[in-house]
């Protein structure tokens, strides 16, 4: 089984988790929510470009390319996250997933990766390199999504 060069040489930068409230018009009054509500919103919606808990396969592919361009993901990680969609885009379908589904059906990327890792580990099909690469990628996505390593 080939690995894709997923590595753990990534240092997570701090993501700003503040909610920015702006007023487009100087004359328009905007009611500020109570501080407790702001804190709740900050926890649920940290400032980030992508939501890996709710995206399509096409969005996953685009997000991986963008994060690779920004230096967040390695080339191997980007290839791993874009490969399935690329094949579906080229062939029209793969393993029962059509291009229409890949562009419209949403799923939790992080939870899906954890399930896939558990499956291959349970079947004894994953080498130690594959397992460590999977875990490193999951940790990066969790750090991006939630601002911390929830796998630790």
Burial call 114-152: b when 16+ CB within 10 Å, e when fewer: beebeeeeeeeebeeebeebbbbbbbbbbbbbbbeeeee
Domain region containing 123: 49-146
* CA dist., res. 138 & res. 92, Å (int): 28
Assigned domain for 29 exists:
no
Q: What is the structure's pLDDT at 95?
A: 92
| Residue 109, pLDDT score | 97
Domain annotation covers residue 20 = no
**26 lies in a domain?**
no
Identify any residues that bridge with 93 across adjacent strands, giving them in sequence order: 98
Contacts of 75 (CB under 8 A, 6+ apart): 5, 68
28 part of a folded domain: no
Give the pLDDT score at 148: 67
pTM above 0.85, yes or no: no
pLDDT in tens, the chain (152 residues): 333 333 333 322 322 222 222 333 333 344 444 444 434 334 444 468 999 999 999 999 999 999 999 999 999 999 999 999 999 999 999 999 999 999 999 999 999 999 999 999 999 888 999 999 999 999 999 999 988 655 55
Amino acid 147: pLDDT: 84
Dihedral angle over CA of 90, 131, 52, 112, nearest 10: 80
- Domain count for the chain, please give it: 1
Position 39 scores a pLDDT of 40
In a domain, 42, yes or no: no
Question: What single-letter DSSP state applies at residue 18?
Answer: P
């Amino acid at each position: 089984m080939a690995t894709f060069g997923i590595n753990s040489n990534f240092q997570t930068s701090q993501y700003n988790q503040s909610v920015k409230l702006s007023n487009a018009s100087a004359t328009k009054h905007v009611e500020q929510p109570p501080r407790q509500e702001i804190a709740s919103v900050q926890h649920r919606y940290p400032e980030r470009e992508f939501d890996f808990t709710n995206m399509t396969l096409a969005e996953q592919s685009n997000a991986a390319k963008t994060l690779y361009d920004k230096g967040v993901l390695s080339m191997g990680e980007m290839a791993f996250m874009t490969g399935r969609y690329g094949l579906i885009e080229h062939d029209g379908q793969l393993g029962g997933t059509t291009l229409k589904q890949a562009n419209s059906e949403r799923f939790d990327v992080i939870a899906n990766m954890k399930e896939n890792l558990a499956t291959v580990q349970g079947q004894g099909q994953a080498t130690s390199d594959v397992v460590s690469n999977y875990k490193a990628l999951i940790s990066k996505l969790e750090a991006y999504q939630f601002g911390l390593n929830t796998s630790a």
